[in-house]
Every structure is written in structure tokens, then in C-alpha cells.
Amino acid sequence: MARHPFLPLFSALLLVTAITKSEAFSKTVKSRFPGHNPEKLTHLHFYFHDTVSGDKPTAVVVATGPNTNSSASAFGMVAVVDDPLTVGPNITSEEVGRAQGMYSSSDQKTFGLLMALNLVFTKGEFSGSTVAMYGRNSVMSKVREIPIVGGTGAFRFGRGYAQAKTVRFNTTTGDAVVEYNVYVWH
Ligand SMILES: *[C@@H]1O[C@H](CO)[C@@H](O)[C@H](O)[C@H]1NC(C)=O
Ligand SMILES: *[C@@H]1O[C@H](CO)[C@@H](O)[C@H](O)[C@H]1NC(C)=O
Ligand SMILES: *[C@@H]1O[C@H](CO)[C@@H](O)[C@H](O)[C@H]1NC(C)=O
């Protein structure tokens, strides 16, 4: 292939562009972002209702893999959820938000879910703010820990962790109630 006569020039230009861009890639922001107090640690406590049964499920399986049904850990299952979050363990207690997103069975040996959920709050000072939860949920463990990787509104720049503990699991229906303690720096 013939070498383009201007190739060295183009390369030099690309290099210059790359250097200029990397100089502007990041900078330290000294002043606080308006309305942002990074020193705040918020503890959220609520119950997550994962209803898979009945005619109004809030968690629906949308995909399975070729071996999901014969897999002891349901490997390959993907569910989309819009689960209510309430102040108490009873589903009739006050709803404070929803857990929206999906989880998938991602472990071939034991039950292990990848959780990719937004916690969307609808009550009180956090109404309209969201927290993004992403990580592994080893559902057979008594207490599971899942990272909080971000947030919006009051939870901008949010980071932290969630601890999940199953309080009720109906082995007939598959419905679960899970207690969540979430800590977010924001
Ligand atoms: C697995 O079982 C579900 C529910 O019975 C069914 O909808 C799905 O098609 C099955 N998947 C395969 C790959 O057989
Ligand atoms: C939930 O609350 C309703 C009334 O608000 C009550 O009838 C029901 O027994 C409660 N369920 C549980 C599991 O506590
Ligand atoms: C599980 O759900 C079924 C169907 O709704 C119900 O009859 C049963 O009492 C439930 N079991 C427990 C332990 O709550």
C-alpha cells in the first residue's frame, strides 16, 4: 500500500490533538458544587417487596438461557422489576419509593444475582432523588452487601453500600420481602 505523503503531518496533528485533549481531560474542582455537601452520610431503611406471583407481579422474568431451567442456580435468568419500597415489612405500610431495573442470575454454582437497580424515592426530603445500586447479591447469605455507585438529586456524587436481609420468603410463590439498610455519602 502506498504511504500517504502527508501521513507524518497527520500523525503530528493527531498527536497535538491528543495532547490538548488529555490536558483538558480532568481538573480538580476546589470550590464545592452548588448545593452539594459532601460530608453528609445518610442512612436509609426500608423493605423491598419482590412479588413474582399472582396477576400483578412487580418482578417479571424477561429472559432465560438455554440451560436456565435445568440449572440449580437458574443461571441465565433475567428479571425486570418495579418493586415497592415501604417503611415497614408489611406491603400495606407506607410506600417510600420503588426499586426499578433488573437482576440476573450470574453464578453457575450457587445463587448469585447481578443487581442493577435504581432506588427511586417518592416520599419526604428525598422525593425525586435516586440512588444507583449495582453489584453482586449472594442471595443465600444471611446479609448481603451491594455497592451504591451513584445517585441523582439529593444523592449527587453518592457512593456507599446497601445491606440486604431477607425477612420473608415464600417457597411456594417465590415472593420475598427484603430489609435494606443503605448508607450513602453524598
Ligand atoms: C423455562 O421455563 C419457563 C417457565 O416455565 C419457560 O417460559 C421457558 O420457555 C423455559 N425455557 C426454556 C429454554 O426451556
Ligand atoms: C399487614 O397489614 C394488614 C392491615 O393493614 C393486616 O391485615 C395484615 O395482617 C398485615 N400483614 C402482616 C404480615 O403483618
Ligand atoms: C405462600 O403463598 C401462598 C399463596 O399465596 C400462601 O397460601 C401461603 O400461606 C404462603 N406461605 C407463607 C409461609 O406465607
Site to probe by mutation for ligand 1, drawn from 61, 67, 69 as the one with most ligand atoms within 8 Å of Cβ, is 69
Q: Which residues partner with 183 through β-bridges?
A: 43, 161
pLDDT tens sequence across 76-130: 999 999 999 999 999 999 999 999 999 999 999 999 999 999 999 999 999 999 9
The pLDDT of residue 136: 98
From its phi and psi, is residue 20 left (phi > 0), alpha (psi between -120 and 50) or beta? alpha
Site to probe by mutation for ligand 3, drawn from 172, 175, 177 as the one with most ligand atoms within 8 Å of Cβ, is 172
Nearest CA to ligand 1 atom 10: 69
Q: How far apart are CA 183 and CA 147, in angstroms?
A: 10
Helix H, strand E, coil C: the string for 134-165 is EEEECCCCCEEEEEEEEEEHHHCCCEEEEEEE
Is residue 131 within 8 A of residue 147, CB to CB? The reply is no
Q: Indicate whether 177 pLDDT > 80.
A: yes
The pLDDT of residue 39: 75
38-185 placed in CATH 3.30.559.10? no
- Residue 36: band (very low, low, confident or very high) from pLDDT cuts 50, 70, 90: low
Q: How many CB atoms lie within 10 A of CB 174?
A: 13
The pLDDT of residue 21: 52
Nearest partner of 158 among 105, 125, 119, 104, judged by Cα: 119
pLDDT tens sequence across 140-160: 999 999 999 999 999 999 999
pTM of the model: 0.80
Q: Collect all residues with Cβ–Cβ distance below 8 Å to 22 and sequence separation of at least 6.
A: none
Q: How far apart are CA 59 and CA 49, in angstroms?
A: 9
What atom in ligand 2 is closest to the CA of residue 90?
Answer: 1
Extents of the domains making up the chain: 38-185
- 5 compared with 24, residue with greater pLDDT: 24
